Structure 1
């Protein structure tokens, strides 16, 4: 059965997903330079043919996934009306999704087909309607709620997420957008089913019971 899941969503030890002043040269904001160092370790392990906690999670990211939902802030550093529609995301000509990817925004623009099978669709529909579209596009595959924190929070509060796979980086940011702000009631439906660590990060899986 198709599941709605958050996968490899990285936060700091103090629960912050993005620091202040997100911008083009600091997409995760101030104080977050090292938040994804675990990915560099994982990629080095992959290149060396080694297994590892991070490498295993990178390998498993796309397994069974048929569609992705993300917020405007994850897609672009721009806010408000689109000043530059030549922007097609942070990921270059061949984004890593390779399927239909729905971007939640109040400012619509035409869909963008990319190399490798990714198509970005921009929508201002209610989150439930977007999820229905994503499940249909996934064709029986899982749907990933990719981020940022505000988007994950919306789906948590609506009770629409089945599984949270978090990466806790061993840094403190001190200020920024905390993943679990405003979702206290929703978290009671989840149970921690896995928590493992290596020097680069702690990997936590929570599943709806």
Structure 2
């Protein structure tokens, strides 16, 4: 499952800059996304940013979730500083995720890591795309869906929040 915060024009980079003010809607979406996940995949840059912030954060419920959940980090270098329940992915990213998906358990979430989400979507190993779209046009910035091959999405849920955000949940047809 890929969970991302986007602007209306698809920018996924630096959502803290366009979800302004960060509020109850973003918190509620993040809390809902976390209820079914027992593993998270992060890229190295996201890991480095998050390990400096989340272990000391009291922003709930995400701080408790991300602290406790199993974290798989796409990197070829040791995880320093270490973080509880975090491990480097050994080998090919897509093969590692396929193996992880074959294990019993809950969903595997991809948060914040644009390139990881794109690689897994392109490889056809993502079964669900959950987005919270801010009513903001950002302009420049990395977009989550740029460069992806065509794919069929089946809507599961769509909702407009009181603040004008779009909460979108789609099933992705797996390759």
Classify the TM-score, shorter chain: 0.7 to 0.9
Rate the CA distance shift 1:141–1:111 in 2: closer, same or farther, 3 A.
farther
State how far apart, in whole Å, the 1-side matches of 2:52 and 2:86 are: 9
Residue 69 of structure 2 corresponds to residue 104 of structure 1: no
Find 2:18's aligned residue among 24, 31, 34: 34
The TM-score normalised by the length of structure 1 is 0.68
User: Is the CA contact 1:163–1:205 (under 8 Å) kept in the aligned structure 2?
Assistant: yes
Find 1:76's aligned residue among 42, 48, 52: 48
Specify the alignment match of 1:203 in structure 2: 167
Structure 1, residues 40-87: CA drift from partner, whole Å, max 9, x if none?
1337xxxxxxxxxx62x333222221111011121225xxxxxxxxx8
User: Is the CA contact 1:70–1:103 (under 8 Å) kept in the aligned structure 2?
Assistant: yes
Rate the CA distance shift 1:36–1:179 in 2: closer, same or farther, 3 A.
farther
Deviation at 1:104, TM superposition (A): 0.9
User: Is the CA contact 1:10–1:36 (under 8 Å) kept in the aligned structure 2?
Assistant: no
Q: Which has the higher helix share?
A: 2
Q: Greater CA deviation, 98-107 or 152-161?
A: 98-107
Deviation at 1:111, TM superposition (A): 8.4
Question: What is the number of equivalent residue pairs in this alignment?
Answer: 165
The TM-score normalised by the length of structure 2 is 0.79
User: Is the CA contact 2:37–2:107 (under 8 Å) kept in the aligned structure 1?
Assistant: yes
Whose Rg is larger? 1
State how far apart, in whole Å, the 2-side matches of 1:102 and 1:112 are: 12
Q: Which runs of no fewer than 5 residues in structure 2 stay unpaired?
A: 58-62
User: Is the CA contact 2:157–2:170 (under 8 Å) kept in the aligned structure 1?
Assistant: yes
State how far apart, in whole Å, the 2-side matches of 1:92 and 1:113 are: 8
State how far apart, in whole Å, the 2-side matches of 1:101 and 1:66 are: 9
What is the alpha-carbon root mean square deviation over aligned residues?
Answer: 2.7
Find 1:10's aligned residue among 5, 9, 14: 5
Q: Which runs of no fewer than 5 residues in structure 1 stay unpaired?
A: 19-27, 44-53, 78-86
SS of the residue corresponding to residue 18 of structure 2 reads coil
